[in-house]
Structure formats: structure tokens, C-alpha cells
Amino acid sequence: MMKHLVRKLRKAILDERTYKKDFIYLINEKVLAKSGSEKDVRHEYKMAKYLRKKGISIPRAYGLIKIDFLDAKLIPPFKPVTTWFFLMEKIQGKEIKELQGAELKSALRQRKRELEKVLELGITPYDALYERNSLLGKNNKLYLIDFKSWRKAPREKLDAFYLNLLQYSL
């Protein structure tokens, strides 16, 4: 299966099939690939696996792919460029900024509940309050996305984030 995804990812990159940001590639209607440094991509993948295992509402993590490209944009001799990708489920949904009324209230309540669970795990979800980092998917289920900067944190940082969460929630 991974060889098939590698071929599809290479094609998505060559076709410049980006999704929302220039470092996220749309492999197909159900799978995205986020590129980044090896350290960032590995961290986000491990965080995704851990969060999902603990019952946090996030997209499925499918795996990591490393691809070596010859960068033809550089002056010869052409050198291989290694790029890492984190494959994950593409959530069909709306960002919080696109919501209104009861749908918005429901999404904000769900986000607060999910972030409280993340904090209970001892993890500070640093950029989770940005509207673009939550999606309301099918059946009005909220998904947290983009956990590259999330880290285990001491109690005082967790408490400070919780106060922010209370301030920006309903």
C-alpha cells in the first residue's frame, strides 16, 4: 500500500496539487500529506498516534514517507533533496470561522471538551485555539488538526493554557 501512496504523492507534488497551504498535498479525496523537516513530521505523526489512541478527536494517521528528489531548480550538479511527509486522513469539513449560530456553539463546545482532554494528558496544544486548527466534519463532529507544535508541558503551562481556553470558549 505504501508504494502506491508514494507514487500518488509524487504525482501530487509534480502536479502541485496543494491543499490550503503549500506544504500540504492532496493525494486523493481521503488522504493528505504534510511535508516538513524529519523532526517535525516524526513528532506530529507520533503525537497523532498517541492522541488518537487516547480518544482525542483527530484525523487518522496513516504513516510517514521519505522521498528523495533531484532538485532541478538548482545549478548543476543536481543534488538530491530529502523531504518527509506525514500521511493523514483528509477531513471533509468547515473551519470554525465558517460557522454560525447553533453550529458554531456546538463546535466551540466540542473543541473545549477535546482540548480539556488533551490538557489532562499533560500536553499543551499551543496553537489549537486558532480557528483554522479545528474542523467540523460530517455528523457535526469536531476534529482537532495540526499538532506539530504540541508538547508535554509542566503544570503551570497547562494551567495557563486552560485559562486561555476558558476565556476563548463559550
Tell me the domain boundaries of the chain: 2-89, 94-168
Task: Supply 72's cell numbers.
Answer: 532541478
Which of 1.10.510.10, 3.40.190.10, 1.20.1260.10, 2.160.10.10 would CATH assign to domain 94-168? 1.10.510.10
The predicted structure's pLDDT at residue 60 = 94
The predicted structure's pLDDT at residue 109 = 93
The predicted structure's pLDDT at residue 32 = 85
The predicted structure's pLDDT at residue 128 = 80
Percentage of the chain lying above the pLDDT 70 cut: 89
Residue 97 DSSP code: G
The predicted structure's pLDDT at residue 78 = 60
Query: Going edge to edge, which strands form the sheet with 18-19?
Result: 18-19, 21-26, 31-36, 80-89, 61-70
What are 74-96's pLDDT values in tens digits? 555 666 778 899 999 999 999 98
Q: Is the dihedral of CA 129, 132, 136, 137 positive or negative?
A: negative
Domain 2-89 classification at class level = alpha beta
Confidence of residue 25 (pLDDT cuts 50, 70, 90): confident
| Residue 85, C-beta contacts closer than 8 angstroms, at least 6 positions apart | 9, 25, 33, 34, 35, 41, 64, 65, 66, 67
The predicted structure's pLDDT at residue 76 = 57
Mean pLDDT of 28-50: 91
State the CB neighbour count (10 A cutoff) for residue 105.
Answer: 12
**pTM for this prediction:** 0.84
What are 92-135's pLDDT values in tens digits? 999 989 999 999 999 999 999 999 999 999 999 988 877 788 99
Task: Supply 28's cell numbers.
Answer: 486523493
